[in-house]
Amino acid sequence: MLQWTRQYWGIENGLHYRRDVTLREDATRISQPALAKTMSAVNNFVVGLTQKLGYSNLAAARRLFDAKIVAQLS
């Protein structure tokens, strides 16, 4: 039972930590299902894009893009 519990939370932590902490997904107060799905898609895009660009750390990539958004998009 303990091993199963650890595996469950290992999956939870591995899959959702970046979205929950770095993208602040848990802090949102979206109540409309369609809007929640849209925000989830945007967050998935952001995670995928940063991985595709070669960033292994989403938080570091976000800080870089936040600081130099115009330069990063050109």
Q: Is residue 58 within 8 Å of residue 50, measured between CB atoms?
A: yes
- Is 25 within 8 Å of 14 (Cβ atoms)? no
DSSP for residue 31: -
* Residue pointed to by tokens 């115009």: 70
Segment 19-44 mean pLDDT: 88
Whole-number Å distance between alpha carbons of 52 and 55: 7
The yes-or-no verdict on residue 9 having pLDDT over 80 is no
Q: Model-level pTM greater than 0.85?
A: no
Would the pLDDT of 18 be above 90? Answer: no
- Span 40-59, average pLDDT: 90
Contacts (Cβ under 8 Å, ≥6 apart) of 50: 58, 61, 62
**For residue 43, which of 59, 25, 62 has the smallest C-alpha distance?**
25
Mean pLDDT of 50-59: 90
Q: Between 1 and 13, whose confidence is greater?
A: 1
